[in-house]
Amino acid sequence: MPSYSFQCSAGCRYDALYSMSEVPTETVCRECGGSARRAITAPHLSAAGSSAFRLLDHTARSAHEPAVVDRLPSQGARRPQRVTTNPLHAKLPRA
Ligand SMILES: [Zn+2]
């Protein structure tokens, strides 16, 4: 639920949570009881360049813009075979 800023005519300023469909343009001030109007504020974009946002963007982009490759991956790029030393693993079926 987004947070909206309100400012009354007396100058009190506070934030309140409303759903986007139910946010009022005018409400009763919490501090003085006067009429408070919704204030226009900048969106919280400070985290827009963070690695979490880049991961979200990359994940969303890969859903409809998958990376295009023009050749098979080289042999050296393959993962090395995992080797286990546990004797119980020898009884497991081979893939
Ligand atoms: Zn007030």
Domain residue extents for the chain:
1-64
Cα 85 to Cα 95: distance, rounded to the nearest angstrom? 17
Q: What is the pLDDT of residues 24-60, one digit of tens each?
A: 999 999 989 999 999 988 776 677 778 888 898 888 8
**Does residue 77 surpass a pLDDT of 80?**
no
Q: How far, in Å, is the centroid of ligand 1 from the Cα of 8?
A: 5
Q: How far, in Å, is the centroid of ligand 1 from the Cα of 69?
A: 60
Average pLDDT, the chain: 85
Nearest to 30 by CA among 11, 50, 14: 14
Confidence band, pLDDT 50/70/90 cuts, at residue 12? very high
Q: How far, in Å, is the centroid of ligand 1 from the Cα of 14?
A: 9
Tell me what pLDDT residue 13 has: 92
The token pair that represents 56 in the structure block: 């979200």
CA dihedral 47→51→55→57, nearest 10 degrees, is 40
CATH 3.40.50.300 is held by the domain 1-64: no
Q: How far, in Å, is the centroid of ligand 1 from the Cα of 6?
A: 9
Please, how many CA atoms are within 13 Å of residue 29, restricted to the half-sphere of its CB?
15
Q: How far, in Å, is the centroid of ligand 1 from the Cα of 12?
A: 4
